Amino acid sequence: MRMSRMFMPTLREVPADAVIKSHQLMLRAGMIRKMASGVYNQLPMGIRVFNKVQKIIREELDKKGCQEILCSALIPAELWKESGRWDVMGDEMIRLKDRNERDFCLGPTHEEVFSDIIRQEINSYKQLPLNLYQIQVKYRDERRPRFGVMRGRSFTMKDAYSFDIDEAGLDKSYQDMYEAYTNIFNRCKLEHSAVQADTGAIGGSVSAEFMVKSEVGEDEIVFCSGCNYAANMEKAVSVNAPSSNEEMKELKEVHTENVHTIEELEEFFNLKKENFAKTLIYVADKKTVAVVVKGNREVNETKVANAIGSVVEFELANETTIKKVTDAEVGFAGPKGIKTDYLFIDREVAEARNLIIGANKTNYHLENANYGRDFEGVVGDFRNVTEGDFCVECGKPLEIARGVEVGHIFKLGTKYSEAMNVNFIDKDGKSKPMVMGCYGIGVERTAAAIVEQHSDENGIIWPLEVAPYHVVVVPVNIKKEDHMENAEKIYKRLQDMGVEVLLDDRDERAGVKFKDSELIGIPMRITVGKDIIDNKVEFKLRRLEEKEIISVDEIEDRIIKEFKENNLSIR
């Protein structure tokens, strides 16, 4: 491609509303442009990268025997009503009506659609297993679209669904996808790890998220310093603080005028945070919920919502609700006598002795409160892991890092097949529900994660396999005949050998051209300048500082060498 003809609106300045590196660089490199909040259009430099990510995904899935199909993004509500998700998906689902007032949605995910296809066509164990996928635009009205294409309201997803005759079959399908995903993210040159995850609204039992470690990640991941344990914060567990065998002391009411927060309580009682239990109040689909954790802990909202089951809206209660359930001002809630629909007690609170809790009475707390004697509730794990907690698997300290979720694999089991009658006749002649799995990768988010991990102060450094072009040929001065003619020749030769090549034939200063090639991250640059008299050009890799002077005849070999080093072939 001749850069003089190219639609590549690069930007010198960092756009004001882009806070993270990948968002800034994708805008500056002219890859994407915003149309509305969370809605982006993809320009040539962008689509070429996204297509390469898709190519890698297709190749790795096809190797595992998956087959590509393409479903409609417009989905009738009936399918969602059958699975019970029409009401569960909440405001994230974009709903619309047709001219006959029939309900539809723009698919946020496609379990129902794939289930519907399979139940109509497949009826015997002989036709299974099957693993089908599509690469398609998904629509989700995200509460907080942000970070450019990392969290958009329309985005391209590869979603795959496996159908097996039994659990053992599902285990194999899941393992195959695990391997395919590992290969995909390795080929994208993403440093990543697979972590245990919460299964959320999709349902099912086992799931793993493929996480790219990054400061800008929206997820917190818990890693063990001693073993392979890794889990999303939503799901992570740690060893409980040792249970106390102190004698239970007498419950006492203490006047605590204007002492509300844990910090104020610490000062007032001159005690550490772990001597207090704090009570947080939430509203889950109109039901009130109280959760009690020790003062040094944070509530894990996912664990609480899971304990209730299929919660759509979950949020902290407002002042009015708090006053209603506690009969007190905000800051004095406690588990004894609280009037909520649910009361959850973190196991550490249940196993501690003589805690200080809110009295549900303005300006009062209770001293020496004990679970079982003074208050009760559903006991479980309702807290977040804290850095330095101990691993439940090996006892070593846990660490916390931030990550971007680029892929997610789930064992669904028979949740959808039972709800939607996705059955087959087994060897024994009996009808059984198929055992399903589902598997997603965000295409643009993966590309953005690559930018997060592969860039410097001058721009993007694309790994060769996902780069929009492999090589840029830069004539230093297009007005000089020998620069331009030789650049043209090299450009032609590289095109003939199957290299994706740009010719920077713009009438710009060399410095401007170099800056652009660095910003857009082209892996190899060939500069045709004064040395061409001696039949020499400058060869430079984007990822390294050094420049090599090579002879024009060596160019092909030098490029092939680079492909080989990346385990790639040219066509």
Residue 254 token pair = 């203490």
Instruction: Return the exposure string of 320-345: e unless at least 16 CB atoms fall within 10 Å of the residue's CB, then b.
Output: eebeebbebeebbbbbbebebebbbb
Query: Is the backbone peptide bond immediately before 468 cis, with ω within 30 degrees of 0?
Result: no
Q: Does 445 participate in binding ligand ATP (rule CB under 6 A)?
A: yes
518's tokens: 């660095």
Both tokens of 405, joined, read 């979720």
Read off the tokens for 108.
């946020």
**CB-nearer residue toward ligand ATP: 169 or 442:** 442
Q: Per-residue string for binding with ligand ATP, 115-154, x by CB under 6 A?
A: -------------------------x-x--------xx--
Q: Is residue 463 a contact residue for ligand ATP (CB under 6 A)?
A: no
Token digits of residue 324: 């209603």
| Min dist. Cβ of residue 222 to ligand ATP (A) | 16
Shorter beta-carbon distance to ligand ATP: residue 107 or 442: 442
Alpha helices in 31-149 (DSSP H): 44-63, 77-83, 111-121
SS3 for 272-307, per residue?
CHHHEEEEEEEEECCEEEEEEEECCCCECHHHHHHH
Q: How far is the CB of 406 from ligand ATP (least distance, A)?
A: 5
Q: Which stretch binds ligand ATP (CB under 6 A): 404-412, 453-461, 492-500, 546-554?
A: 404-412
Q: Does 405 bind ligand ATP (CB under 6 A)?
A: yes
Cβ-based nearer residue to ligand ATP, 406 or 499? 406
Contacting residues for 151 by C-beta, under 8 A, at least 6 apart = 38, 142, 144, 145, 218, 445
C-alpha triplet 235, 451, 46: angle, nearest 5°? 115
Q: Which residue is nearest to ligand ATP (CB)?
A: 442
Q: Output the smallest distance, CB 394 to ligand ATP, in A.
A: 27
Count of residues of this chain found to bind ligand ATP when the rule CB under 6 A is applied: 16
Nearer to ligand ATP, 185 or 282 (CB): 185
358 near ligand ATP, judged by CB under 6 A: no
Partners of 294 in the β-ladder:
277
Closest approach, Cβ 157 to ligand ATP, in A, equals: 5
Tell me the closest approach of the beta carbon of residue 532 to ligand ATP, in angstroms: 46
Closest to ligand ATP by CB, 452 or 518: 452
Contact flag: residue 169 with ligand ATP (CB under 6 A): no
Give the DSSP H or E segment for 411.
strand 398-413
107 part of the interface to ligand ATP, by CB under 6 A? no
* Contact call for residue 157 and ligand ATP (CB under 6 A): yes
521 binds ligand ATP per the rule CB under 6 A: no
Which structure tokens are listed for 28? 């500056």
Does position 407 interact with ligand ATP (CB under 6 A)? The reply is: yes
Q: Whole-number minimum distance, CB 277 to ligand ATP, in Å? A: 30
Of the candidates 129, 203, 295, 442, which one interacts with ligand ATP according to CB under 6 A?
Answer: 442
Of residues 113 and 157, the one with the C-beta less far from ligand ATP: 157
In angstroms, the CA 460 to CA 119 distance is 46
Q: Among residues 408, 415, 470, 483, which is the contact residue for ligand ATP, using CB under 6 A? A: 408
The string of DSSP letters for 83-109 reads HT-TTTSGGGSEEEE-TT--EEEE-S-
As measured in angstroms, the least distance from the Cβ of 408 to ligand ATP is 3
Spatial distance between the Cα atoms of 422 and 534, rounded to a whole number of angstroms: 71
**Strands 471-475 and 524-528, how do they pair?**
parallel
User: Is the CB of residue 524 less than 8 Å from the CB of residue 541?
Assistant: yes
Q: Smallest distance, Å, CB 306 to ligand ATP?
A: 14
Applying CB under 6 A, the residues found at the interface with ligand ATP are 109, 140, 142, 151-152, 155, 157, 405-408, 440-442, 444-445
